[in-house]
Structure 1
Amino acid sequence: MATSEPEGRFAVRRQVHEDRVVVWLQGEIDLMVADRLLSELHAAVEQSPEIEVDLAEVTFLDSTGIRALLNAHAAALRLGHRIYVTNASGIVMQVLEVTGVDSLLTADPRDRRPQGR
Structure 2
Amino acid sequence: MAQAAAVSQLTLEVERNGDVFTVKCHGKLVLGFCDVLASKVKELIPQSKRIVLDLTDLTIMDSIGLGTLVRLYVSAKAGGSCVVLVNVGPRIRQLLGITNLLSVLTDMCEQGVNIRF
- TM-score above 0.5: yes
Runs of 4+ in 1 over 4 A off after TM superposition: none
Residue number in structure 2 paired with 1:113: 111
The change in CA–CA distance for 1:74 and 1:112 in structure 2 (over 3 A counts) is closer
Q: Please tell me the residue identity of whatever aligns with 1:77.
A: K
Distance 1:40 1:76 in 2: 12
Using the size of structure 1 for normalisation, the TM-score is: 0.80
Alignment size in residue pairs = 108
1:84 aligns with 2:77: no
Percent identity between the aligned chains? 24
Asked whether the 8 Å contact 2:9–2:33 carries over to 1, the reply is no
Within a 5 Å distance, the mapping from 1:32-51 to structure 2 comes to 32-51=32-51
Partner of 1:17: 17
Q: For structure 1, list consecutive stretches of 5 or more residues without a partner in the other structure.
A: 1-5
1:36-92 per-residue CA deviation (whole Å, 9 max, x = no partner) reads: 111012112222011110101100001111111111111111122111101011211
Where structure 2 has 5 or more consecutive residues not aligned to the other structure, the ranges are 1-5
What's the counterpart of residue 74 of structure 1?
74
Further displaced range: 96-105 or 51-60: 96-105
Query: Which protein has the bigger helix share?
Result: 2
Q: TM-score, normalised by structure 2?
A: 0.80
Cα distance in 1 for residues equivalent to 2:69 and 2:56: 15
* 1:85–1:107 contact (8 Å) kept in structure 2: no
Aligned-residue RMSD, C-alpha: 2.3
